[in-house]
Structure 1
Amino acid sequence: MSKAGAMRIDRLLCYLRFARTRSLAAKLVGRGHLRCNGIRITRSSQTVMPGDVLTIPVGDVVKLIEITALPKRRGPPQEAQGCYHDLRSGA
């Protein structure tokens, strides 16, 4: 982490279970379809922090999530879902 309270995007995607591994998360970022606060991310070293809004392509769906907390580990799905708020579903 380069800043206090921030995490690399590839690590975050893995911990939040949007990618199985950190290397797959880096490939997802490298494709250039990911956005943070409306700005395209192309580097897996880009840092994100709570309050950032991410646009993530997941299969045929585009997820729009707001980061509410940074996970400490890649835990169970309920733990991961507690770290973000899905803005499209209103959940």
Structure 2
Amino acid sequence: MASDEGTVRVDSWIWSVRLTKTRSLAATACRAGHVRVNGERVKAAQALRVGDEVRLRLAGRERIVVVSRLIRKRVGAPIAAECYVDNSPPPPPREEVVQVAVRDRGTGRPTKRDRRDLDRLRGSLEAARRAAEVAESPEH
């Protein structure tokens, strides 16, 4: 299940501790330069040791973990979480899903009710945009 001796490939370890869904995704991230070990860009075959800091940029988020245990095989999430210390910044807040008015093609012009719904949607977006601008202003 786990081995605490020697070294492990960085792509294999990233996949084993469930930072990526597949090992090929981990290898691709290494090739693209999205994986750094102790501040240096690494190739997929780079040897990893206990105490190394791994930075992985994936899906617009940066994960910063310190290796506390080396494993070669993928394990369950609770065991995988014990193999590293997570120093990542908190994930960005999930923005509210913006509703998009969807009309079937060929249904003709919007009805009065459809138009009111669209105006209400656009108005709420404008109000949210104005509130965000006010919150970001240096006066507040």
Give your verdict on TM over 0.5.
yes
The ranges of structure 1 where at least 4 consecutive aligned residues each deviate by more than 2 angstroms after the TM superposition are none
More strand by share: 1
**Which residue of the partner structure matches residue 34 of structure 2?**
33
Q: Residues 1-45 of structure 1: CA distance to partner in whole angstroms, max 9, x if unpaired? A: xxx52100111011011122222211111101211001111x211
- TM-score, normalised to structure 1, is 0.84
Report the identity percentage: 29
Instruction: State the shift of 1:72 in Å.
Output: 4.4
Shift of 1:61: 1.5
TM-score with structure 2 length normalisation? 0.56
Quote the Cα distance in structure 2 between the aligned partners of 1:50 and 1:86: 14
**Structure with the higher helix share, 1 or 2:** 2
CA distance in 2, matches of 1:55, 1:44: 13
Where relative contact order (Cα < 8 A, 6+ residues apart) is larger, the structure is 1
Structure with larger Rg: 2
Unaligned runs of 5+ in 1: none
Structure 2: gaps spanning 5 or more residues: 90-140
Matched positions, count: 85
